[in-house]
Amino acid sequence: MTKILGALTGIVCLAFSIGPRAGGDMDRIDPAAILKTAPEWQAEYDNFVVDAEVLNILRAGARDLTIDVYLGTWCSDSRHNVPRFIKIIDALESPGMAVNYFTVDRKADRSVKYYVEEREVERVPTFIFLRDGREIGRIIENPKKTLPEDFADIVR
């Protein structure tokens, strides 16, 4: 029994040691705390309307999906896109989906390439979509079309 507990402890420590890390510090954050960052974050959330048609497409593709969101509370693109993303997630009400939010510090200087080296996150916000542990797509900084449409293109 002692050997089993020792092995399990080692596995857990290894898992935490190889998890995503940023060039600087990275912290997990709750979506409610994100919206309290500043009044404009909550206003962006409140004023964004999710198209019902796109929402139906997202519901069909959101099962068994994990999304990791890397953002900077100091970043204007994060301030614009992350509250909208939270609104989409809230509207989906998809129990088979997991969303993890991580804040990252500003890069110390221009020589630092990644905020999160293991995930190759160079710019924020970055939304990484995973199914069965494999990346199926990402949205970096600003969507190509709209946030819901790019999300739908990834999960279709």
- Divide the 156 residues of the chain into consecutive groups of 10 and give the mean pLDDT of each group: 41 35 71 96 97 92 93 97 98 91 94 94 98 97 96 94
**Cα distance between residue 22 and residue 130, in whole Å:** 19
CATH number at residue 28: 3.40.30.10
Identify whether 12 is part of a domain.
Answer: no
- At 88, list the tokens: 């989409």
Please answer whether residues 127 and 67 qualify as being in contact, where contact means their C-beta atoms are separated by less than 8 angstroms.
yes
Is 38 contained in some domain?
A: yes
Q: Return the half-sphere exposure (C-beta side, CA atoms, 13 A cut-off) of residue 132.
A: 0
Average pLDDT, the chain: 86
Asked if residue 103 lies in contact with residue 29, where contact means CB atoms within 8 angstroms, the answer is yes
Per the domain annotation, does 4 fall within a domain?
Answer: no
- Tokens 């509370």 belong to residue: 73
pLDDT in tens, 101-128: 999 999 989 899 999 999 999 999 999 9
79/101 Cα distance (integer angstroms): 14
Q: Which two tokens stand for residue 67?
A: 């999304």
Q: For residues 121 and 56, what is the distance between their CA atoms, to the nearest angstrom?
A: 29
pLDDT at position 9 is: 37
Flag whether 1 is in a domain. no
Q: How far is C-alpha 77 from the chain's CA centre?
A: 14
Domain that holds residue 85: 21-155
